[in-house]
Amino acid sequence: MSAAYIINRFLQLIPVVFGVTLVVFALMYLTPGDPVEVIFAGESGATAEDLERYRRELGLDQPFHIQYLRFVIGLLQGDLGISLVQRQPVRDLLLSRLPATIELTAVAVLVSLIIAIPVGVVSAVQRYSTLDKLGTAGALLGVSMPDFWLGLVLMLLFGIHWGVLPISGRIPWGMEPQHITGLYLVDSVLTGDWPAFRAAVRHLILPAVTLGTSMAALTMRVTRSSMLEVVHQDYMTFARAKGLSGTQVVVRHGLRNALIPTVTVVSLNIGVLLGGNMIVETVFAWPGLGRLVVDSIYNRDYTVVQAAVLVYAVTYVTMNFLADLVYTLLNPKVRL
């Protein structure tokens, strides 16, 4: 993999992201409802003149292309606009929510990989065994269960029936570790704040398992099917003929070949999850990006929704890019 390829591939992202900004902006522009009226909705005594003045101040009286140009110039300067409802820079709002989502995503992905890869590999190697049947059935179940339902069931069981795990939020009030990265697990370890670490882990378990389950199901199925192909390759037999044990052959020769499709699926999934999972974050009152978006939609906070959609799109495109890079690392034949 050459530096030229990386740069080239990176430059290709620019038109994509540019297109995304256009679509996002157009969608918000075309959405019925006047943002200025939303702003003044709660305030009595605002005259039509006030509204008009404010509209001018925000630049909403300008034609579409001028508004769009200002939006893009703002973006380039890292300015995502001001939240109409909260009257704060949208960037700060997003940044304050991002760590929660990143933390949840990371743990959910970890959970899913820990389940999916061993189960997928064993299922393939011992095809049609009881283990394989259990794994495949479990995967079907995992894909079929909607996140909100699984989340509610886990809450009922672990949170309410057995009462062993907290069911909402990231951490109890006042226990937040000192802010360094915003990721509570990392911050609490860095500051040696073990009660906070423990609390953060306990809060993470249910939402992460909820998110991780459906992802694990998908990942396991991909891993199983690619491993099934690999198991019958000549190089697997040749590796056995060298004197390696069955496990060594699978781990050293099989896994790396089999994981190539898995990487694609997992990275796209991460792209989706990093956008914040609206459903799971809402169910577990997780203060992440997803919940911010849901709240903003309810409040008609257009600038926040607009920025969040933009962040989703960029994250997704970036994960795609990273997936390509990892691909080339795993598969030397992809010389780019």
Partner 1 sequence: MLQPVLDVRDLATYFFTERGVVRAVDGVSFRLYPGETLGVVGESGCGKSMTALSIMGLVPRPGRIVAGEIRLMGEDLVGKPDRELRRLRGSRMAMIFQDPLTTLNPVLRVGQQVTESIRIHYGDGTWSGGSRRWSWLADPLGLRRRRIAWERAVEMLDKVGIPAPSERMRAYPHEMSGGMRQRIMIAIALSCSPALLLADEPTTALDVTIQAQILDLMRRLQEEMGTSILLITHDFGVVSELCDRVMVMYAGKVVETGPLDAILNTPRHPYTQGLLASIPRLGDRSYRLKPIEGTVPELHALPPGCSYCTRCPVADEYCAAVAPQLKEISPHHHVACHKVAAAPAMAGEGVPS
Distance (Å) of CA 145 to CA 65, 164, 239: 45, 23, 40
Q: Which is nearer to partner 1, 33 or 243 (CB)?
A: 243
Q: What is the DSSP letter of 59?
A: T
Nearest-approach distance from CB 248 to partner 1, in angstroms: 8
Nearest-approach distance from CB 30 to partner 1, in angstroms: 49
- Cα separation, 176 vs 224, in Å, equals 41
By three-state DSSP, how is residue 296 classified?
A: helix
Q: Which is nearer to partner 1, 2 or 181 (CB)?
A: 2
Q: What is the DSSP letter of 89?
A: B
Q: Which is nearer to partner 1, 31 or 233 (CB)?
A: 233
Q: Which is nearer to partner 1, 128 or 173 (CB)?
A: 128
Q: Which is nearer to partner 1, 55 or 240 (CB)?
A: 240
Burial readout 63-94 (b: 16 or more C-beta within 10 A, e: otherwise) = eeeebbeebeeebeeeebbbbbbbeebbeebb
Which residues make Cβ contacts (< 8 Å) with residue 155, sequence separation at least 6?
Answer: 167, 206, 283, 284
**Residue owning tokens 């598969």:** 331
H/E run at residue 309: helix 302-330
Q: Could you tell me the two tokens for 230? A: 């690999």
Binding site for partner 1 (CB under 8 A): 233-235, 237-246, 248, 252-253, 256-257, 330-333
Which residues make Cβ contacts (< 8 Å) with residue 35, sequence separation at least 6?
Answer: 58, 60, 84, 300, 302, 303
H/E run at residue 106: helix 90-125
Q: Which is nearer to partner 1, 187 or 324 (CB)?
A: 324
Q: Which is nearer to partner 1, 179 or 252 (CB)?
A: 252
Nearest-approach distance from CB 223 to partner 1, in angstroms: 16
Count Cβ atoms below 10 Å from residue 166 Cβ, excluding itself.
19
